[in-house]
Amino acid sequence: MSVVRFGVSFEKEVLVALDEYVLENKFSNRSQALRQLVNRHIVEKKWLCNNQVAGAVTLVYDHHRRDIANQLGEIQMQYSKEILSVQRFTLNEHNSMEVIALNGISSRLTGLAEQLISLKGIQHGKLTMSRFD
C-alpha cells in the first residue's frame, strides 16, 4: 500500500480537537489519528451497506442466572455460520464474560448481537465490527 501526502486546512478549534484526540489515544502523529477516523467511517458505512465484516460481541452476565447459558447457546446455534469462536471467562464467583468472534454480513451480526444483549440477565453487552479487505 503506497502512502500519498496531501495538505489539509482546519479551523483552529478542529485542529485543537484533533490534537487532543491524538494525545488521548496515544497516536504518534495526526496522520495516524486521521487514518483511524477515516477507517472508522468506512466501517460504519459498510455496516449500513450490509457488507462482509469481522466482529466480536462481548457479554457480561451472572452465570448463576437461571437458564442463561441455554438461552445463549440456542441463539448462537442460529448463527453458526457467522460465529468463529466463543470464549467464556469467569470474572468472579457470580459473573462471566463471553467473547464471541464473528465474520459475516453486518446486518446478521447486528441481529445476533441485539438478540444476545437483550436477554434478561445480560448486565452489559457490546458489538464491535471491523473491515478486513
Phi, psi of 19 (to 5 degrees): -65, -40
User: What pLDDT, on the 0 to 100 scale, is given for residue 33?
Assistant: 87
> Tell me: the pLDDT tens digits for 45-102?
766 667 889 999 999 999 998 899 999 999 999 999 999 999 999 999 999 999 999 9
Given a cut of 80, whether residue 1 has pLDDT beyond it is: no
**pLDDT tens digits, one per residue of 6-51:** 888 888 988 999 999 899 988 889 988 898 888 777 766 766 667 8
Distance from C-alpha of 92 to C-alpha of 76, rounded to nearest angstrom: 24
The pLDDT value given to residue 51: 81
CATH class of 51-130: alpha beta
Q: What are the structural domain ranges in the chain?
A: 12-48, 51-130
Least Cα distance to 100 among 129, 120, 121 occurs for 129
Give the three cell numbers for residue 120. 434478561
